[in-house]
Amino acid sequence: KKKKTKKQLPFPIAIHNEGPRISNGNPPLVYVKKHPFTTDQNRFSRDQIPKHIINDDSVHYMDKIHPQFVHISNATYRGDLHTLLDAFKSGVPVDIRDKYYKTPLMIASANGDLETTKFLLQCGYTIEEL
């Protein structure tokens, strides 16, 4: 008897290379900076420093916020419009594709997110490109 071998796929799966790092050593273009949400901006004041050490949370307000990068597909899937707007303002094309050749509009419409889909169309995405 011959041993059964695993069958190979009849065709290879095409995946897109995410590309090299961009200037300043940042990740590839499909990874965009996450929009920093700073809540309660007026809580810390240099003029009125808390007297007790437990109430002094000035360390959290004085440290520089380090940029976090998120994949543009994940930002689209979560409906993070602020991150997407920052990315498009910084020069990321609206019709960028991930490694599976999906555009943000494809992801938003497959997810059923009408608000994100409208936002992407307002940012200049044209339907004919699909």
For residue 13, is it within any domain?
no
**pLDDT number for residue 107:** 95
Confidence of residue 1 (pLDDT cuts 50, 70, 90): low
For residue 27, is it within any domain?
yes
Longest dimension (CA), the chain: 86
**pLDDT number for residue 71:** 93
- Rounded-to-integer distance, Cα 47 and Cα 103, Å: 49
Looking at the structure of the chain, the number of domains it has is 1
For residue 8, is it within any domain?
no
For residue 98, is it within any domain?
yes
For residue 3, is it within any domain?
no
Q: Calculate the CA 82 to chain-centre distance.
A: 10
* CATH code, domain carrying 91: 1.25.40.20
For residue 28, is it within any domain?
yes
Q: Which residue has the tokens 């940012």?
A: 123
For residue 5, is it within any domain?
no
Q: Calculate the CA 70 to chain-centre distance.
A: 4
Q: Is the model's pTM score more than 0.85?
A: no
Q: For the chain, what is the mean pLDDT?
A: 81
| 121-123-127-130 Cα dihedral, nearest 10 degrees | -120
**pLDDT number for residue 130:** 52
Q: Amino acid identity of 92? A: V
For residue 119, is it within any domain?
yes
**pLDDT number for residue 77:** 95
Which two three-digit tokens encode residue 56? 């002094």
Domain that holds residue 123: 23-129
Confidence of residue 121 (pLDDT cuts 50, 70, 90): very high
pLDDT digits 0-9 by tens, 19-75: 777 777 788 888 888 887 766 555 566 666 667 767 766 666 666 778 889 999 999
